[in-house]
Amino acid sequence: MEVPLLDLRPQFAAIEDEVRAAIDGVLTGQRFILGPEVAAFERGVAELCGTTHAIGVSSGSDALLCTAMALGIGPGDEVIVPAFSFFATAGCVVRLGATPVFVDIEPDTFNFDPKLLAAAMSPRTKAIIVVHLYGQCADMNPIRVAAREHNIPIIEDAAQAIGATHHGQRSGSLAEVGCFSFFPSKNLGAYGDAGIIVTSDDTLARRLRRLRVHGSDQKYYHVEIGGNFRLDTMQAAILGVKLKHLEAWNAARQDVAGRWADLLADTPLQPPVTRSYNEHVFHQYVVRAPRRDELRAALHDQGVATGLYYPVPLHRLECLAHLGGQDGDCPVAEAACREVLALPMYPELTVEAQRYVAEVIQRFYSRESVA
C-alpha cells in the first residue's frame, strides 16, 4: 500500500469548481497586482485571527523578513529565536545583519522553552521570534511577561499554526505581530508561495504595507527601502476560497491525530503532547522514534512516506557556522533532530491507511524485541 506524507489531490477535487471560479474571476477582472481579492482575503484572515490588520505578502519567509524590517532590526541587534525551526526563522535575522541568539526547546512540545529566555536576553536584544511549531502555540504567557519587562517586541512565527488557539485566543494575535505561511503543504495552502502578517498596531501595519511595495506610500515616491513583498492576486483568490474550509480541515486533522494516538499507543513511539490550554491544529504529526532512521527505512520499503522536521538544529547549520554554534549548546533540540519523525498527516487521510502504517510500525518494533 502506498501512503504519502501529504496528498493535496483529494482537497482540490472537493473544491475544484470554487477554485476555478475564483481564478476565472481574477482573469476576467485583469487586476493581478493587489487586486480586490487580496483585500478581501486580508479581511478574512484578520477576522479569523482577531486582529485589526492583515497584510498579504509574497511568502511566509518574506512575512518574517518584512516584519523584522518594520521593527528596525539591523546590524548590532540580537534577536532571540528557537534552535529548532525552519531556516527562515533565523534567516530573516541574518539577512538584515543582526545576530540570532538560539534558545533550546521543550522536550515534549518542541516549542520555545520560556525558562531559558531570561538568560538569552541582553541589552542588544531587539526582538523575540516565537515559533508555534507543528500547529501548536508556544507557552506565550511567561514569554510575554519577560518581553514586557524589557520592552522587547515579540514576533509570532505562526507559519504552521493558522487557526490554533492559546487560552482561547488565536495564533497571530498573541503578540505585537504574527506571520503566516501559505506554502502549498500548510493547513491553508496556496498554489504557490504566499504569506500574510497580522497585527492590531496601526502604525506597524502602515509601515508593513509600505515596505511590501518598495517602501512607497504613493507610487514612485519612496519613503524608505522596502521590497517586492506583495501577495499575488491569483493566490489571494484561491486562498479566499480555501479559508472558508479551514476550520473543517483543521477539525479533520485533529481527528486524524486522535486516531494516530490510539493506533500507536502500544508502540515505543512518543506521541506529540498538547498543552491543556491549547488547541493544536496538527500541521504535522511528529513523534519521537527509537531507531528513527531504521524505522523510516522500513516504512519507506512498505510504501509509507515520512518526513524529518528538522534534521539539523539552526545553530549547527553550515551557513550559520560563523555564529560559533557548537554541539551541546541546545541539547534538547539536538536530540529532537536525531529522533523526530513526521507521519502522514492531511485531512483526507483514511482510517485504512493509518491502520496500515501502524501495522508496519508494530511489526518493526516486534522484530526488534524478538532480536
* pLDDT tens digits in sequence order for the chain, 371 residues long: 999 999 999 999 999 999 999 999 999 999 999 999 999 999 999 999 999 999 999 999 999 999 999 999 999 999 999 999 999 999 999 999 999 999 999 999 999 999 999 999 999 999 999 999 999 999 999 999 999 999 999 999 999 999 999 999 999 999 999 999 999 999 999 999 999 999 999 999 999 999 999 999 999 999 999 999 999 999 999 999 999 999 999 999 999 999 999 999 999 999 999 999 999 999 999 999 999 999 999 999 999 999 999 999 999 999 999 999 999 999 999 999 999 999 999 999 999 999 999 999 999 999 755 44
CA distances from 17 to 28, 32, 194, 251 (A): 16, 21, 22, 23
Q: Are 361 and 264 in contact (CB under 8 A)?
A: yes
pTM of the complete model: 0.97
Q: Is 87 exposed, middle or buried (0-12, 13-18, 19+ CB in 10 A)?
A: middle
Dihedral, CA atoms, 172, 139, 337, 260, nearest 10 degrees? -80
Give the CA diameter of the chain.
73
Domains annotated for the chain, with CATH where assigned, are: 9-103+112-243 (3.40.640.10), 246-370 (3.90.1150.10)
Position 370 scores a pLDDT of 43
Q: Are 158 and 172 in contact (CB under 8 A)?
A: yes
Residues 123 and 125: their CA atoms lie apart, in Å, by 6
